[in-house]
Amino acid sequence: MTWHRPLAVLVLLMVALTAASVAGLLLDERELLGQPIWAKPLKFSVSILIYSVTFSWLIGLTRGRLRRVAWWAGTIAAAALLVEMAVIVGAVVAGTTSHFNVSTPLNTTLWAVMAASIVVVWVASLLVSLALFRAPLGDRARTLAIRAGALVALLGMGLAFLMTGPTAAQLQDFRGVAGAHSVGVADGGAGIPILGWSTEGGDLRIPHFIGMHALQLLPLAAILLELAARRIPQLRRPATRLGVMRVLVAVYLGTVAIVTFQALAGESIVAPGGATIVASLTLWAAALLAVAVTLGVASRSEAPSQVGDSAASVAR
């Protein structure tokens, strides 16, 4: 793997910030919106670290002129992410929120800068993703996993914009906040430790998180399929792995859709309603059936060749 140097520098900075955030969790007793004040820098530093490693790898897969475009896109993304983290950490030091904070002219400006940096990262990620569609990525299942992972990640990043509009309650009683993570309840209520996802209402951070990390999980699934092929004969056929990967991509997209509608409905991830449960069970049942059919077709395709080999051996 050839490292993209600006992203590599960002990785090192995020490693240091992750360590500092852990220390902050242990030593700083302050809370913000019901969560330890250093929880947000910890989450974002880990997320940006993972993003930077992944995009450095993806940029290394591009070729020709598009590689230069991807290199500059990665450099711009690294700078924008550094700006975003500077605002987040600065807000923690000041003891206030960074996201949706329009309580003063300074906080409004910082939130606008952060929002602009997020848009820049999205556009840069789009450019790298488009470059991957012209890059030779080898195995077809792996190719699908990388390209689909990049596109679903863009979708997940885009879902963050659902959080940026003021809620009805904020419009009726303005208190210097415009936007919210939670749906149906105010931000700052009971949540899952560290993650902070609401256990009382919907939370748009969930589809944002799941969608964004398709960039890592779908390529990881392709690698696991290749490893499984050592023990499962049907998966040794590239066409079979491609078929299974298509199912996994569909399941991933379906999951993002389900948790998005669940959040918009004001439903907590830990208390799914009947429609969410039915949709999830239907999705997974269809996926298991599709995988079973794909493997079954592969088994039948192997059978004639095995019979032919046996007949040839007898003839000899």
- Going from N- to C-terminal start, the domains of the chain cover 1-136, 146-305
pLDDT by residue (tens digit) across 61-105?
998 889 999 999 999 999 999 999 999 999 999 988 888 888 889
Given a cut of 50, whether residue 314 has pLDDT beyond it is no
For residue 11, give both structure tokens.
Answer: 């990785």
**pLDDT confidence bin for 242, thresholds 50/70/90:** very high
Measured between alpha carbons, how far is 189 from 184 in angstroms, rounded to an integer?
Answer: 11
**pLDDT confidence bin for 32, thresholds 50/70/90:** confident
**pLDDT confidence bin for 315, thresholds 50/70/90:** very low
Measured on CA atoms in the order 215, 220, 221, 225, is the torsion positive or negative? positive
Tell which CATH classification among 1.10.3470, 1.10.8, 1.20.1070, 1.20.120 matches the domain 1-136. 1.20.120
pLDDT of residue 113: 94
136 in Cβ contact with 239 (< 8 Å): no
Measured between alpha carbons, how far is 74 from 211 in angstroms, rounded to an integer?
Answer: 20
Percentage above 70 pLDDT, the chain: 95
pLDDT of residue 100: 85
Given a cut of 70, whether residue 39 has pLDDT beyond it is yes
According to DSSP, the β-strands at 35-36 and 182-183 are unpaired
Measured between alpha carbons, how far is 155 from 253 in angstroms, rounded to an integer?
Answer: 10
Measured between alpha carbons, how far is 137 from 234 in angstroms, rounded to an integer?
Answer: 22
Rounded to two decimals, the pTM is 0.87
The candidate with the shortest Cα–Cα distance to 42, out of 92, 112, 106, 104, is: 92
The mean per-residue pLDDT over the stretch 143-156 comes to 95
Q: What is the mean pLDDT of the chain?
A: 89
* Beta bridge mates, 177: 101
pLDDT of residue 56: 94
